[in-house]
Amino acid sequence: MINNKKTPSNIATDYSLSEFIYSCGYKLRLKHASFKQDAINWIADNSSELLMAEKPEILSLGCGTGLFDTALLKIIQQQKSQWSFTGLDFSETDLAYFRKSLSALDEETRSRVSLQYKKFEPSTEMGDHYDLITMIHFLHSFDDVLPIIQNALRHLSADGKLLIIQHNKQGVSEIKDEFLDILPNQKFQCSEHIKSLLQAENIAFSAHRIEAFFDVSMMQEMSLDTLLLMSFCLVNDLSKLNTSQQEQIRQAFLSHAEDINGTSIIRESMEAIVCHV
């Protein structure tokens, strides 16, 4: 663990991710990790329980580029003849990408999809109730997630379900904990914390473990891609650190990895948390 305490000079440094770092880092994260497909597989396997309404209305919070939702739309199409989907996100760039990806779908499907440039906050009012609300890797950037969850629950129909998919404290979260003294942007909500909040509020839920893996073999050497990927994972622009600190973080990723058939793999399980009113 690095013990260097923050000085006034580095407190003032902006460690937030630029659009370039976020975009490139996200693509690398998807390329080298299994969490996307593992989450989609779990949703597909459990879709009959998640989509029990005859004409389900679905709300996706933090839909982004439609990474998960385009797969969800295909699942819905296979099971339901009537449905509607609303996606919310606060990134116009991501929504534009989502809209572009929808062009590959038929006109009837596109007519059932509404994408809104909107931030979902504790006071946000959607004016509707939904049979399924999804928060897939959505809560990690909030300091206080409970009011967000409570507002989502208020928007559920009588038999509706809120699906939260979040990584647990294994893997990347453990690495981040080692560098709390030099990484100022610490927003990273794990599934364990979310479950403890739900239990404290007596909110009914079930939790389901989803195994996922992160191939960090590319981090055997320091490169621009390595720096971009580490920055994205730890939600801090690591180019603002000195080379010694960057190297210690790189070594931390490798030390958390297992050698599986010559590949450096970090286990980073997720949990699907299904809440209902």
Q: So what's the pLDDT on residue 12?
A: 54
Contact 54, 130 (CB under 8 A): no
- For residue 270, the surrounding DSSP H or E stretch is strand 270-276
Per residue of the chain (277 residues), give pLDDT as tens.
344 444 334 445 789 889 899 889 989 999 999 999 999 999 999 999 999 999 999 999 999 899 899 999 989 988 999 999 999 998 888 899 999 999 888 898 899 999 999 999 999 999 999 999 999 999 876 879 999 999 999 999 999 999 999 999 999 989 998 998 898 876 678 999 999 999 999 999 999 999 999 999 999 999 999 999 999 999 899 999 999 999 999 999 999 999 999 999 999 999 999 998 8
What's the pLDDT at 4? 42
Cβ atoms of 218 and 225 within 8 Å: the answer is yes
Sign (positive or negative) of CA dihedral 125, 128, 129, 133: negative
Radius of gyration of the chain (CA): 19
CA distance 236 to 228: 10
Q: Which CATH architecture has domain 8-276?
A: 3-Layer(aba) Sandwich (3.40)
Using CA atoms, how far residue 236 sits from 10, 63, 169, 207, in Å, is 13, 22, 18, 30
> In the prediction, which pLDDT does 132 show?
97
Look up the pTM and report it.
0.88
